[in-house]
Amino acid sequence: MPQTRADCIALDAADPLADRRALFDLPDGLIYLDGNSLGALPRTVRRRMTEVVDQQWGRDLIGSWNTHDWIGLPQRVGARIAPLIGASPTEVIAADSTSANLFKLAAAALDLRPGRRVIVSEPGNFPADLYILQGLKDLLGDRVELRIVEPSALDDALDDSVALLLLTHVHYKSGALHDMAALTARAHAVGALALWDLSHSTGALEVDLNGCGADLAVGCGYKYLNGGPGAPAFLFVAERHQAGFRSPLTGWMGHAKPFAFDDGYEPAPGLTRALCGTPPVLAMSALDAALDAFDGVALGELRAKSMALGQLFLRRVTERCAEAGFQRACPEAAAERGSQVSLRHPEGYAIMEALIARGVVGDFRAPNILRFGFAPLYVGYAEVWDAVERLAEVMASGLWREARFQRVSAVT
């Protein structure tokens, strides 16, 4: 653990991921600790977007569906995400949004477990997950029962009426990391499927879906994968479930022969059936290019650095902001967290605004959480050191009390 800023600079110099930082285009002097919300811009994306817009779309036009294999983008991008989450290349496909993919998989889970109608999740899960479940329940009525229970009550909630356990691997607010293997096993013990939302873990830590025996998963393209704002999401269906998997969103791109234009729907083989509409080529190409930054990266090194950065941040906050009124809102042990730390403070909103004005970008989650994400591909040790220095300056100076940092509406 570094004791000085010089130690941090030495760690950065020795960092096996040090070469990755140059792959990203970040403003000089900015310390960007919000890659858990929107990943930074990979330089390859700029080149790729120019190529896709000017050449592929502008010059080659409609023919690009074949000549540049636009039509194969969802499968190709999925196959590149697969090794980051412990899946086979044919078990992952890029498509739609995380929310839409949750809908597809939650509905499909009811099919895969006929006779069962209960879906279990936890309160405080990322709201999108809960909202999608509510929409599915509203649509299907008595065919769905939702049990939203605290993790401590899971044993009571899991019984042989449960079709699906839906959990987010890393909690969006606290950063707490679920034990995927253990929870998947608990779902399986009652014959239920496990669906993991990997939005806050993919690209930040090792995920081992197949090692854990997970059944289904979704994840986000615009956080640690750096695919750009609102990037396409992805979904995973374990090989053993693919033959029985039916998406409720039976768009033409999931058809066995989309260009035969038959009236009758026939699902494509494999995970292609999870596709719905025409692939968003510009956005999907950006995500594809962004994944270049992961080429050759050892996930163990990614995770080790991520944990070290989080520990450094927390320790320095304790050392430098002891009187500032922060409470830790995330697990203390790095092994129990994803790649973010969270602090609680009643004036969290204004403090974060003042900190952003000082060039350290984290974010705020109502009602009182400051989040700091450590994207290990481009955040360094010295930056974390400096971030806490600036936070300490903000707190010591009372800068955050200035009117310009105060929240003017109830919603950020």
Site for a copy of itself in 296-355 (CB under 8 A): none
Report d(CA 142, CA 137) in Å as an integer. 8
User: Which of 308, 310, 302, 399 lies closest to 350 in space, CA to CA?
Assistant: 399
Q: To the nearest 10°, the Cα dihedral for 395, 398, 403, 405?
A: -10
Minimum distance from CB of 339 to a copy of itself (Å)? 16
What x-and-dash track marks residues 21-50 binding a copy of itself by CB under 8 A?
----xxx--x-x-x--xx-xx---xx--xx
Chosen residue from 279, 310, 338, 380 binding a copy of itself by CB under 8 A: 279
Chosen residue from 269, 277, 300, 325 binding a copy of itself by CB under 8 A: 277
What x-and-dash track marks residues 53-82 binding a copy of itself by CB under 8 A?
xx--xxx-xxxxx----x------------
Does 387 interact with a copy of itself (rule: CB under 8 A)?
Answer: no
In terms of CB distance, is 190 or 268 closer to a copy of itself?
A: 268
What x-and-dash track marks residues 181-220 binding a copy of itself by CB under 8 A?
----------------------------------------
User: Which of 117, 122, 194, 120 lies closest to 161 in space, CA to CA?
Assistant: 117
Q: What b-and-e string marks burial along 158-193, b requiring 16 or more CB atoms within 10 Å of the CB?
A: beebbbbbbbbbbbbbbbbbbebeebbebbbebebb
Q: Which residues pair with 42 in a beta bridge?
A: 24
Respond yes or no: is residue 224 known to be catalytic: no
Report d(CA 118, CA 9) in Å as an integer. 52
Respond yes or no: is residue 222 known to be catalytic: yes
Task: Tell me which amino acid residue 238 is.
Answer: A
Respond yes or no: is residue 257 known to be catalytic: no
Does 276 interact with a copy of itself (rule: CB under 8 A)?
Answer: yes
Catalytically annotated residue among 24, 103, 222, 405: 222
User: Which of 79, 89, 105, 82 lies closest to 274 in space, CA to CA?
Assistant: 105
Catalytically annotated residue among 12, 34, 197, 363: 197
Q: How many CB atoms lie within 10 A of CB 389?
A: 15
Catalytically annotated residue among 147, 223, 303, 365: 223
Q: To the nearest 10°, the Cα dihedral for 321, 322, 324, 325?
A: 130
Does 149 interact with a copy of itself (rule: CB under 8 A)?
Answer: no
In terms of CB distance, is 251 or 270 closer to a copy of itself?
A: 251
Question: What are the residue numbers of the active site?
Answer: 126, 197, 222-223, 371
